[in-house]
Structure 1
Amino acid sequence: MRWIYDLLYYFQKRGFEVCRRIAERWGIRARVVRTTFIYLTFATLGFGFALYLFIAFWLKIKDLIYAKRTSVFDL
């Protein structure tokens, strides 16, 4: 049973953090957002997963463009 929690921790730590960032933005729990993505994926035969990947890609690009730099020499 321990390996299930290790696997869950691995994905939460190294995932795209889409659910956490959406939850922080909207002020709700990340668990609710994850559950919504899961239900959406099953209900629409994969659209929820595609939406998740699109948002992950968009957040990655946004992070690269709006990277916080502490000084001018961090370019």
Structure 2
Amino acid sequence: MKRLTDFIEKQSFGVCNALGNRLGFSSRSIRLSFVYASFFTFGSPVVLYFALAFWMDARRAMRRQRSTIWDL
């Protein structure tokens, strides 16, 4: 079961894992919170999830493109 959730997390942007590491919670509890909140609010946390995924991907891309003064 752990391997399956790790695979799904890596394939689904890694938002829950990143939030868990940053906030000090387990990624499983954050994942469950997203699922429960999606049921109760008719899917609005999905929009938040995709916004966070976009932000994380944009930050990763900016870090890859950034060069230092010593690269010239």
Q: TM-score, normalised by structure 2?
A: 0.77
Q: Hey, what does 1:50 align to over in structure 2? A: 47
Structure 1: 4+ residue segments shifted above 3 A: 5-10
Aligned with 1:11 (options 5, 8, 13): 8
Q: How many residues align?
A: 69
Structure 1 counterpart of 2:52, one-letter code? I
Q: Any unmatched runs of 5+ in structure 2?
A: none
Instruction: Summarize deviations over 1:30-49 as a string: whole Å, max 9, x none.
Output: 00110111011111101011
- For the aligned residue pairs, the C-alpha RMSD in angstroms reads 2.3
CA drift of 1:55 comes to 0.5
Structure 2 counterpart of 1:35, one-letter code? L
- Cα distance between partner residues in 2 of 1:32 and 1:8: 12
Aligned with 2:20 (options 5, 19, 23): 23
Q: Once the two structures are aligned, what percentage of the paired residues are identical?
A: 28
- Cα distance between partner residues in 2 of 1:31 and 1:37: 10
Secondary structure (helix, strand or coil) at the match of 1:60 reads: helix
